[in-house]
Amino acid sequence: MLMSNSDRAARLHYMAYSFRVLQAGDHVLCAVTGQKIALEDLRYWSIARQEPYANAEASARAEIKATGGR
């Protein structure tokens, strides 16, 4: 029986320019907004924090929070 990855969160390892799928799924959740991000739409993440972001604004907000606003 084939398992569908539809509507299942993936677990990823984020690297420079790409990511590796550790657990199959079709989306991840933004670490800042909680928004569902389809894997094919994922463009922003932090290698250091291993977090995905829905967009550039969420990525910037996470960076500001992580650095204490410096």
**Does pLDDT of 1 surpass 60?**
no
CA distance 14 to 68: 23
Report the b/e string of 35-69 with b at 16+ CB within 10 A. Answer: eebebeebebbeeeeebbbbbeebbeebeeeeeee
Domain range annotation of the chain: 11-68
pTM of the entire structure?
Answer: 0.87
Beta carbons of 49 and 31 less than 8 angstroms apart: yes
- Residue position matching structure tokens 């204490």: 68
- pLDDT above 80 for 62: yes
**pLDDT tens-digit readout, 5-46:** 679 999 999 999 999 999 999 999 999 999 999 999 999 999
